Amino acid sequence: MSDSNPDDLANPAAKKSSAEHAHDALVARLARLDSSRIPVQPPKSLQPTPEAAKTRVSRLRKKRLLIQRSKRALLSEQTMPPARDPLAP
């Protein structure tokens, strides 16, 4: 017959390669990490001060307004006919 071990026939996982074992272990570890996920908050020292938060909001608001104005300017340039040259015959 063949020189197969009876334990190998009972346990098909025994024939897996080391890469397959590593992959299975990684999947099991990731599944455990995903199920026991705890939300973490940064320390208070890294939180912005209320003043910094206000300036950030104000800066982002100004940026948004500038973008809107530039879009409007581009649209008005595209829709306006070219100006007539008064010196043209």
pTM for this structure?
Answer: 0.35
User: Does the structure show a pLDDT above 80 at 79?
Assistant: no
What mean pLDDT do residues 26-50 have? 79
Q: What percent of the chain has pLDDT over 70?
A: 74
Confidence of residue 62 (pLDDT cuts 50, 70, 90): very high
More confident position, 58 or 82 = 58
- What DSSP state is assigned to residue 11? -
65 secondary structure, DSSP code: H
DSSP state of 47: S
Q: How is the chain split into domains, by residue range?
A: 50-78
pLDDT of residue 46: 72
Calpha distance 11→35 (Å, rounded): 28
